[in-house]
Structure 1
Amino acid sequence: MRRDELLDAAEDLLCDQGSAALTLSAVADRAGVSKGGLLYHFPSKEALIKGMVERLIDDFDQLMAAQSGATYTERYLAATLEAVRSNRLRRWAVVTGASGNMFLLAPIREAMARWHSEGLDDEPDRVASQLVRLACEGLWDVASHDPDLNAESDLRALEDRCRALLKR
């Protein structure tokens, strides 16, 4: 079994049942592997959560790198919408899993600080850029709880309005 499949199983478990259900045995059961198979990749629950946190950050950084746009905020908006549309990132589940451990949350806080400060000085309208980035956070968090809440037409309308705000 691949590492990503184990991380998928852990994220699915968190989304379905919450942080109390996140045990190594439950993740192994969900993934259809022995507990020893899981321990080979993740020797502890903390290592498993750390793996989810690292993957979440790496995934979003890769989405950002794949986007085109004149400004960082335009790329941030496009990456967020791609994450929501593909249901690729499940930040709520990962943060829930890490919430009891400040050490495990530190990389998320550092990434969030980077994502929300990078390129702001180069933006035509710093405040509009901050508003769009914060709107992206809200959209991502809401979509994590209810992926079907916003239809594609809703996402297009939100994207258009955010892009218009950046053009002012």
Structure 2
Amino acid sequence: MRRDELLDAAESLLADQGAHALTLAAVAERAGVSKGGLLYHFNSKDALVRAMVERLIADFDDLMATQDHDTYTKRYVAATFAAVRSGRLRRWAVVTGAAGDPTLLAPLREAMIRWNSEGLDQDGDRMTAQVVRLACEGLWEVATHAPALYDQEAQASLEHHLMSMLT
């Protein structure tokens, strides 16, 4: 079994059942592997959570890098909507998994600071760029907790509106 499939199983377990359910045995069962197979990749629950946080950051950074827009904030908007549409970046599940140990969230906090401060001086109106980025954060959280609230049409409309605020 691949490492990403184990991380997917852990995220899925967290999203479905919450932090109390995150045990190595439960993740192994969800992934359909032995606990030993899981331990081969992750020697502890903290190592598993740390890997989920690292993957979340790397995945969003990769999404940012693939967006073809002229400003950082436009790339941020496009990457956020790509993440929400894919359902792949289960940020809330990752945060829930790390809730027992705030040090596990330190890399995510650092990434959030970077994502929400980088390029602000190049985006024209700094305050508008900040508001748009905060709107993206809000969408990501709402989409995690109530995905049916914003269907594809509503997401497209919201993305268009946020992008138009930046021109």
Is the TM value for this pair above 0.5? yes
Q: Do the aligned partners of 1:87 and 1:147 also contact (CA within 8 Å) in 2?
A: no
Q: Which moved more, 1:152-161 or 1:57-66?
A: 152-161
Distance in 1, Cα, partners of 2:166 & 2:60: 21
Paired residue for 1:28?
28
TM-score for both structures, normalised by structure 2? 0.98
**Deviation at 1:152?**
1.1
Paired residue for 2:55?
55
Paired residue for 2:135?
135
Paired residue for 1:72?
72
Paired residue for 1:151?
151
1:119-130 maps to which residues of 2 (within 5 A)? 119-130=119-130
| Amino acid paired to 1:156 | A
| Amino acid paired to 1:25 | A
Distance in 1, Cα, partners of 2:92 & 2:102: 16
> What RMSD over aligned residues (CA atoms) do the two structures have, in Å?
0.7
Distance in 1, Cα, partners of 2:86 & 2:146: 13
Distance in 2, Cα, partners of 1:147 & 1:5: 23
Paired residue for 1:88?
88
* Secondary structure, aligned partner of 2:149: coil
1:60-113 alpha-carbon deviations (Å, 9 max, x no partner) = 000000001110000000000000111110000000101121210100000000
Q: Which moved more, 1:46-55 or 1:149-158?
A: 149-158
Paired residue for 1:109?
109
* Secondary structure, aligned partner of 2:62: helix
| Amino acid paired to 2:115 | W
Ranges in structure 1 where 5+ consecutive residues have no aligned partner: none
Q: Which moved more, 1:90-99 or 1:144-153?
A: 144-153
Ranges in structure 2 where 5+ consecutive residues have no aligned partner: none
* Secondary structure, aligned partner of 1:100: coil
Paired residue for 2:7?
7
Distance in 2, Cα, partners of 1:158 & 1:125: 19
TM-score for both structures, normalised by structure 1? 0.98
Q: Do the aligned partners of 1:123 and 1:129 also contact (CA within 8 Å) in 2?
A: yes
